[in-house]
């Protein structure tokens, strides 16, 4: 939780995949976010294909 409350600027990323366990933990944390009248209107999309990520980054 400390990482959420302290700002960090990342200048360079490593070229490695994020572990599935970490992705699931992030998604679970996002699902715990409050929503109006508990409607939970969010949708999460996890893209791991590098070609698709490049395509989406150009949009």
**pLDDT tens by residue, 15-59:** 888 999 999 999 999 888 888 888 888 889 999 999 999 999 998
Q: What residues contact residue 35 under an 8 Å CB cut-off, 6+ apart?
A: 41, 42
Size of the chain in residues: 59
Q: What pLDDT, on the 0 to 100 scale, is given for residue 54? A: 93
**What pLDDT score was predicted for residue 39?**
86
For the record, the structure tokens of 52 come out as 């698709």
pTM of the model: 0.64
For residue 46, the model assigns a pLDDT of 95
pLDDT given for residue 11 in this prediction: 79
3-class SS string, the chain: CHHHHCCCCCCCCCCCCCCHHHHHHHHHHHHCCCCHHHCCCCCCCCCCCHHHHHHHHCC
Q: What is the pLDDT of residue 27?
A: 93
């Amino acid at each position: 939780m400390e990482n959420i409350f302290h700002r960090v600027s990342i200048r360079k990323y490593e070229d490695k995949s994020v572990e599935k366990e970490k992705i699931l933990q992030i998604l679970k944390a996002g699902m715990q976010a409050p929503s109006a009248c508990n409607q939970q209107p969010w949708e999460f999309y996890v893209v791991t294909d590098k070609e698709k990520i490049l395509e989406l980054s150009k949009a």
